């Protein structure tokens, strides 16, 4: 599913109208879609619905919504901020349906608005839509602030009442009136994700044709509630243009490798995972088990002997390659051991929990065949003969965590990285790799990921809320998940393991990164549904990964 800027959405609508599917027809489809989305989530018959109507196309969508809700049996009222209704066919049809109207211009003290909001079960925000490009002021600001105040008062009063409050609050109990945004909550800038303080936070946003790029940026992302994307009749061929997409269940299901009935473990590839150190034993466990949980046929954990002695009993389905270590840190002599065993492996993960010991950094540089200038404290001047004369080509790579930190110690490291790789930085690691601040990265995560992928000519997975996956050719996918339960140690190790497990099964790098990130996010949602988003730990994702695959495959 494409992600659009405001200008791109307007262009799609213009081209659709020129092709014969008129603006009026798109508006009819939009309003119907909002009403149907409400009907799918609430008992509409007898529902008290208030539609807030603005002057433009968004207000027209709201008028159509009101008419359909009335046909469905709701008790509907209109509150119109500004609108020229003289030749407005949609307004005329609401009046033919006997839908009562209140006008903001006549409600000078706001008492009518307060009463209507206080008695509504649903408030539909059809005031401004995607056209906001400056701070709100004047009448519209006052209108939205009044609605905010009444909503807060209603919900606060319900929570405070000890006799009516259920032991476990339900969404219906805590969220009256329920706020539904038409296309976008009024006050959000749909390109930047900025939000005016007066923006009315929605419980449900029904957007049209495609999500907008600002929906995946904060603070806007926190104000959407549930996001539904509704078809308004844009031709399919126009929807397939572009290079920025949000991952969808069907898209990811199509990326997953087949599971033939006559398969054996070799069918599903072999992944080697180089991970762990004395201080980060759990990373080795989480990454290697995650690779098995997404279906890799054989997973080998290459880890320091100190790590092996701790983690082996927990990873009974994983084979082991013991590397020499110094107080729990892998030594450079482990490079030859790994390379001697690499034949037949179809993917390699380097980095989770390896630590920052200078000898381990040297180990990473030599394993990846990277030229290293003299560096104080590392004790070597260039890749050793052991790292060149006896090398074989590496399989496709995932580089994560301390593998990325080791790269950051070198200048222009990407020029020497000769094998397809997926790099999985969080913003802090991206900051070290790119030499820019975390604040700059977070300000525009999309550009940060795309720029890095283009310069490095590798697939980049920029982790965080709405993880961004960028390919060297500019193709970019955003995952639709923002889950505070994933903000805990070890979840990145699970992600890296999931990606390498798919890569091992022959999925090409960008697709493996997209599918792995989506499965990781969906597993997080499944765990949150069961456990909540506080106290969820990385290990909870491991059994949820195959459940996520099963859910996608139906």
- Which secondary-structure segment (H or E) carries 548? helix 541-553
pLDDT at 445 over 70: yes
pLDDT at 52 over 90: yes
Reported as a single tens digit per residue, the pLDDT across 277-323 is 999 999 999 999 999 999 999 999 999 999 998 999 899 999 999 99
Reported as a single tens digit per residue, the pLDDT across 151-191 is 999 887 655 555 544 444 444 444 679 999 999 999 999 99
| Residue 11, C-beta contacts closer than 8 angstroms, at least 6 positions apart | none
Task: Name the pLDDT band for 69 (thresholds 50, 70, 90).
Answer: very high
Residues of the chain above pLDDT 70, percent: 93
Q: Does the predicted model carry a pTM greater than 0.85? A: yes
> First CA to last CA across the chain, in angstroms?
20
Mean pLDDT of 372-382: 39
Whether CATH 3.50.50.60 fits 250-553: no
C-alpha dist (Å) from residue 210 to 62, 65, 75, 183, 442:
19, 19, 30, 10, 23
Residue bearing the bigger pLDDT, 295 or 383: 295
Provide the pLDDT for residue 257. 95
Provide the pLDDT for residue 380. 33
Under 8 Å between Cβ of 276 and 284: yes
Q: What would the two tokens of residue 245 be? A: 């997409």
C-alpha dist (Å) from residue 552 to 253, 480, 501, 518:
6, 15, 17, 10
- Which secondary-structure segment (H or E) carries 478? strand 476-478
Cβ burial 485-509 (10 Å sphere, 16+ → b, else e)? bbeeebbbbbbbbbbbbbbbbebeb
CA distance 405 to 351: 9
Task: Name the pLDDT band for 146 (thresholds 50, 70, 90).
Answer: very high
The pairing of strands 122-126 and 101-103 is: unpaired
Half-sphere exposure of 140 (CA within 13 A, CB side): 22
CA distance 35 to 30: 9
**Can you say whether residue 33 is alpha, beta or left, with left for phi > 0 and alpha for psi between -120 and 50 degrees?**
alpha
Q: What is the DSSP string of 267-335?
A: GG-EEEEE---TT-HHHHHHHHHHHHHTT-SEEEEEEEHHHHHHHTTT-TTSEEEEE-EETTEE-TTHH
Reported as a single tens digit per residue, the pLDDT across 402-417 is 999 999 999 899 999 9
| Residue 431, C-beta contacts closer than 8 angstroms, at least 6 positions apart | 437, 438, 441
Residue 38: count other Cβ atoms within 10 Å of its Cβ.
Answer: 24
Provide the pLDDT for residue 21. 93
Residues in the chain, total: 554
pLDDT at 430 over 60: yes
| Residue 20, C-beta contacts closer than 8 angstroms, at least 6 positions apart | none
Provide the pLDDT for residue 381. 35
CA distance 190 to 217: 9
- The reply to whether 250-553 shares the fold of 6-241 is no
Residue 55: count other Cβ atoms within 10 Å of its Cβ.
Answer: 16
Provide the pLDDT for residue 509. 96
What are the sequence ranges of the domains in the chain? Answer: 6-241, 250-553
Cα-only R_g, the chain: 27
Helical H segments across 301-458, by residue range: 305-311, 334-341, 358-367, 402-408, 427-434, 438-443, 445-456
pLDDT at 237 over 60: yes
Provide the pLDDT for residue 554. 83
> For 67, phi and psi rounded to 5 degrees?
-65, -45
CA distance 38 to 83: 24
Mean pLDDT estimate for the chain: 91
Q: 10-24, 52-66, 370-384, 419-433: which range is least confident on average? A: 370-384
Residue 243: count other Cβ atoms within 10 Å of its Cβ.
Answer: 14
Cβ burial 2-30 (10 Å sphere, 16+ → b, else e)? bbbbbebbeebbeebeeeebeeeebbbbb
Mean pLDDT of 41-67: 95
Under 8 Å between Cβ of 61 and 34: yes
Under 8 Å between Cβ of 278 and 486: no
CATH fold of 6-241, please?
Rossmann fold (3.40.50)
C-alpha dist (Å) from residue 144 to 82, 138, 140, 369, 536:
14, 10, 6, 60, 36
């Amino acid at each position: 599913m494409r992600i659009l800027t405001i200008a791109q959405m307007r262009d799609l609508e213009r081209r659709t109208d020129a092709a014969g599917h008129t603006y009026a027809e798109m508006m009819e489809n939009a309003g119907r879609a909002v009403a149907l989305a409400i009907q799918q989530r609430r008992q509409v018959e007898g529902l008290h619905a208030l539609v807030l109507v603005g002057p433009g196309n968004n207000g027209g969508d709201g008028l159509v919504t009101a008419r359909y809700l009335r046909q469905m049996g709701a008790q509907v009222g209109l509150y119109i901020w500004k609108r020229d209704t003289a030749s407005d066919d949609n307004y005329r049809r609401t009046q033919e349906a006997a839908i009562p109207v209140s006008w903001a211009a006549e409600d000078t003290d706001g008492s009518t608005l307060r009463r209507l909001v206080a008695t509504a079960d649903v408030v539909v925000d059809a005031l401004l839509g995607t056209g906001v490009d400056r701070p709100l002021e004047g009448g519209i600001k006052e209108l939205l602030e009044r609605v905010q105040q009444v909503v807060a008062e209603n919900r606060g009063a319900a929570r405070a009442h000890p006799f009516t409050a259920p032991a476990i609050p339900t969404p219906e109990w805590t969220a009256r009136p329920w706020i539904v945004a038409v296309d976008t909550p009024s006050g959000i800038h749909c390109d930047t994700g900025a939000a005016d303080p007066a923006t009315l936070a929605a419980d449900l946003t029904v957007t049209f044709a495609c999500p907008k790029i600002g929906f995946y940026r904060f603070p806007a992302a926190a104000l959407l509630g549930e996001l539904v994307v509704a078809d308004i009749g844009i031709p399919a061929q126009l929807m397939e243009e572009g290079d920025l997409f949000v991952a969808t269940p069907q898209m990811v299901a199509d990326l997953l490798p087949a599971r033939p009935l006559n398969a054996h473990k070799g069918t599903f590839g072999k992944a080697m995972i180089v991970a762990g150190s004395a201080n980060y034993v759990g990373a080795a466990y989480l990454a290697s088990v995650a690779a098995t949980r997404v279906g890799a046929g054989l997973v080998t954990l290459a880890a320091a002997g100190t790590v092996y002695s701790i983690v082996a009993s927990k990873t009974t389905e994983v084979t082991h390659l013991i590397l020499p270590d110094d107080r729990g840190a892998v030594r450079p002599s482990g490079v030859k051991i790994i390379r001697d065993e690499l034949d037949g492996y179809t993917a390699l993960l380097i980095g989770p929990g390896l630590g920052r010991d200078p000898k381990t950094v040297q180990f990473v540089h030599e394993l990846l065949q990277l030229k290293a200038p003299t560096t104080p404290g590392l004790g070597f001047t260039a890749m050793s003969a052991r790292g060149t004369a006896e090398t074989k080509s590496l399989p496709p790579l995932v580089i994560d965590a301390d593998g990325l930190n080791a790269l950051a110690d070198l200048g222009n490291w990407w020029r020497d990285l000769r094998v397809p790789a997926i790099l999985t930085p969080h913003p802090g690691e991206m900051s070290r790799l790119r030499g820019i601040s975390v604040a700059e990265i977070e300000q525009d995560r999309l550009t940060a990921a795309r720029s890095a992928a283009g310069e490095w000519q590798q697939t980049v997975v920029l982790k965080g809320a709405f993880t961004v996956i960028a390919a060297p050719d500019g193709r970019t996918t955003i995952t639709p998940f923002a889950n505070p339960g994933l903000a805990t140690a070890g979840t990145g190790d699970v992600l890296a393991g999931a990606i390498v497990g798919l890569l091992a099964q022959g999925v090409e790098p960008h697709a493996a990164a997209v599918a792995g990130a989506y499965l990781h996010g969906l597993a997080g949602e499944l765990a949150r549904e069961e456990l909540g988003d506080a106290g969820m730990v990385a290990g909870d994702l491991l059994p949820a990964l195959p459940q996520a695959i099963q859910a996608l495959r139906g």
